[in-house]
Chains A and B, each alone.
Chain A
């Protein structure tokens, strides 16, 4: 047997992905590719009214259609309609939980009212129009101010439309502002947009009456939490439910949330003892997927005249839509804590308020709260630098954290809803920042700032961010020896298209010192492990990878013991290297021989409650056509220090992809509502995600200068960071380009018409 070199054969190398082999051949297995014998297909009747009282639902005509088997409404569910549980409960949000189907009231256009089951999806969809629904309309709340006002309450049992307030505090902001020589107040906003993965959502559930077991295909992101939630709502033991992961066509934070349809599919499968499948179409995806990002911030900054930031404070009002979803508070909490970014600001006081409205419930989207917070902070710094007649680069460098500050505790957030220790862990942010300036060519490009060349105005900007990752508390992995000497690795991290199979295989191959092709990787299904968590908040690689390391260590110890027994020596006289156990006198036994005797299996858990923080800087060069409002991205450079790179190919791919998503959020993606609460966007022609010609000039560089001290890999959550700085840095560059017009954009998206409008306003 060939002995592979001992350390780091695979980690750090651009290993081509294992999963690509099936994706490239069209052999991936996505949810809609799966059919079960005798399955019924579901279609969801959704509210066409934003806010109203449900008076009557008549399903008779729909039931008469050949091929339609049943129509589920609230009346068919248990007398107490289950509500979807929170992943991070806090003291005030309970009344705002979403029932799995509208009961008494509808609170957003798109809220499920009925679920049709038929022989095919087409028949079920055809039947929807034969269900008549009577709704007494109520005043719709479509913005946070009307919500705050409280004249109309979404939930009768409450006194307020403010579901929760997160407070982030550090130092004494009031005192800092009293004493500061310079203070500025600003208002910024980000528009509602969303993740928009290319595969729509879907689920297939099957109930096995004989074993009283529910199997749900289509797991993503949080399979173990969702299993617990589903079991609780269905009145089943957790072990009576399994969530199985298939190939997943993109997650970006939105897929894998527990959605009302998830319950309806599973309930129907159990109730009718039939496999039930539901696949969302793109138009309903716009109404049903978690929306994100809609918030407005009223902020103040206090500085010394030399540019030292003395304090920041303010209120962020987040329109969270009609209900608090399981992860609905994450963006609110995050923006409150992360507005201050990677800067040493001693005195902070932010209130993040979650306000309900009659719109689709909000959830997480890549860089939740962080994209928004970075936009607010970086805009604020540029405006302050202008007032103070300081160079924005100098002002940023002055306030950036250095290695001497580490660990640097972020502002304390209350209520503490389960996020553990949040302190920047390692890094010298100024060196990474300087590297970004160099890579970008800041010195050479500076003279372009504000210049008009051939009718186009040029601008440059640089901004900074931190990306939290490695959310605890723990993750599990299991390693099993197979008869043929190969190894099966099971990990709690889930796949959403990011390449978890390849990444975990690299880590396992190095830890076990065997070749990549001897490893089979399983992830994301609850059947793999007793307990697991998943992939969210840039945790998949760090937590899952660390769990693989821990399990590998135990596995190798077991191998050592087994080999020692085989070789009839005490275990401590055997060394294991390259998949072979050896005695001092030169005898050896390879793993494959042990496989014939004993199928070693070790499941282990990695515990870690300290978050990792990747720091990064991004710089951009834009040109703006003031006549059309078109912005061209001429160069975009991002440099981040991720501690340790597992696979440069996949990391780089995620950073660049995330940056492009960020451009979509800055320039074109907008889920617009009218005053009656109707969503005005329903197709990919209207919801403009970036296309291939939009942003071709992106460079991403990842460094490994400061490994995280918080986990055995030294890795930090990464990839997500690509999206975080885009808003702040791009808008600052546009403001720089248009400084001769005095344009200072404060709200997104900056569509061509919006930029043109800003220029007109400064002209008049």
Chain B
């Protein structure tokens, strides 16, 4: 089935089998391998992407369901050669070790902080309960997200929704 979607700012048309999940389509059809598959049953959150502004698990969507959608994956977060403020905060706080859960953490937190740039520590912790990390113990991830809030607050002020 042919679907058209917007991914990381580019309009893309792709032919996918009906049974193909969105994460498989991204990885296999579009070579966007930054989106990782950690469980394929909707628990680990590594495959999280942003669909129409909302963080969702791409292993729990069929590619055909994304027809017409606007999608952001981890590859779409950096500003050109520069890391985004969230990415830079992850690096500064050592919020990643093996890097496997990182794309899902980044997309989840990017969606959250875009909508809620003043999210509390408790809210941030609660939101990433849907993302499993086996390396960090989560503490530096929460610190990085808190640190990145300011940049989201600034961009909210300069471009009010």
A interface, CB within 8 angstroms of B: 14, 16-17, 19-30, 32-33, 122, 195-200, 247-252, 281-283, 496-499, 649-650, 652-654, 656-657, 659-661, 683-685, 689-693, 695-696, 698
Contact = CB atoms under 8 A, between A and B. Distances in A.
A252 B97 CA distance: 12
B46 A17 contact: no
Given A21-B91, A659-B137, A698-B139, 17 more contacts: A20-B96, A20-B99, A21-B83, A23-B102, A25-B75, A25-B77, A26-B32, A26-B35, A198-B36, A250-B135, A653-B136, A653-B140, A656-B136, A660-B136, A683-B43, A684-B39, A693-B126
Interface string B63-88: 00000000001110110000100010
B154 interface: no
A497 B135 contact: yes
Contacts of B139: 656, 696, 698
Contact of A26 (B74, B132, B140): B74
B99 A19 contact: yes
A692 B87 contact: no
B103 interface: yes
Contacts of B19: 122
B142 interface: yes
A23 B75 CA distance: 10
Contact of A692 (B41, B106, B129): B129
Interface string B108-142: 00000000000000000110110111111111111
Contact of B34 (A25, A250, A283, A652): A25
Contacts of B125: 692-693, 696
B44 interface: yes
B98 A248 contact: yes
Which interface residue of B40, B136, B139 has the most chain A CB atoms within 10 A?
Answer: B139
29 contacts: A14-B94, A16-B94, A23-B102, A24-B90, A24-B96, A25-B74, A25-B83, A26-B33, A29-B33, A32-B27, A122-B19, A197-B100, A198-B133, A198-B135, A247-B99, A249-B98, A250-B135, A252-B134, A282-B40, A282-B41, A497-B97, A650-B97, A654-B135, A656-B136, A656-B137, A661-B134, A661-B137, A684-B43, A684-B132
Contact of A654 (B34, B97, B129): B97
A20 B101 CA distance: 13
A499 B91 CA distance: 12
Nearest to A26: B34
Contacts of B137: 656-657, 659-661, 690, 695, 698
B131 to A, nearest CB: 7
Nearest to A649: B94
Which interface residue of B40, B92, B94 has the most chain A CB atoms within 10 A?
Answer: B94
A684 B41 contact: yes
Q: Is the interface of A mostly helix, strand, loop or mixed?
A: loop
A369 to B, nearest CB: 21
B96 to A, nearest CB: 6
A10 to B, nearest CB: 16
A35 B58 CA distance: 21
Given A282-B41, A685-B41, A25 B87 contact: yes
A24 B87 contact: yes
Nearest to B28: A35
Contacts of A22: 99
Contacts of A696: 125, 138-139, 142
Contacts of A16: 91-92, 94
Contacts of A283: 41
A692 B134 contact: no
B6 to A, nearest CB: 17
B7 interface: no
B148 interface: no
Interface in B8-37: 19, 27, 32-37
Interface of B: 19, 27, 32-41, 43-44, 46, 73-75, 77-78, 83, 87, 90-92, 94, 96-103, 106, 125-126, 128-129, 131-142
B28 to A, nearest CB: 8
A629 B45 CA distance: 28
Given A24-B96, A26-B33, A198 B74 contact: no
Which interface residue of B129, B134, B140 has the most chain A CB atoms within 10 A?
Answer: B134
Closest 5 CB pairs of A and B: A26-B34, A497-B98, A23-B99, A249-B100, A660-B137
Nearest to B42: A685
A198 B101 contact: yes
A652 B103 CA distance: 22
A75 B38 CA distance: 33
A128 to B, nearest CB: 16
Contacts of B39: 282, 683-684
Contacts of A20: 90-91, 96, 99
A660 B138 contact: yes
A491 B32 CA distance: 30
Contacts of A698: 137, 139
A248 B99 CA distance: 8
Contacts of A251: 98
Contacts of B78: 24-25
B43 A657 contact: no
A199 B46 CA distance: 9
Nearest to B33: A33
B70 to A, nearest CB: 18
A11 to B, nearest CB: 17
A244 B110 CA distance: 34
Contact of A691 (B87, B90, B97, B132): B132
Contacts of B38: 198-200, 249, 282
Which interface residue of A25, A497, A690 has the most chain B CB atoms within 10 A?
Answer: A25
Contacts of B99: 19-20, 22-24, 28, 247, 249, 497
A410 B36 CA distance: 44
Nearest to B20: A122
Given A497-B97, A696-B142, A24 B134 contact: no
A689 B134 contact: yes
Nearest to A660: B137
A24 B94 contact: no
B44 A281 contact: no
A249 B36 contact: yes
A138 to B, nearest CB: 32
A684 B44 contact: yes
A24 B98 contact: no
A653 B94 contact: yes
Given A23-B102, A198-B134, A657 B128 contact: no
A657 B126 contact: no
Contacts of B77: 25
Nearest to A27: B34
A475 to B, nearest CB: 22
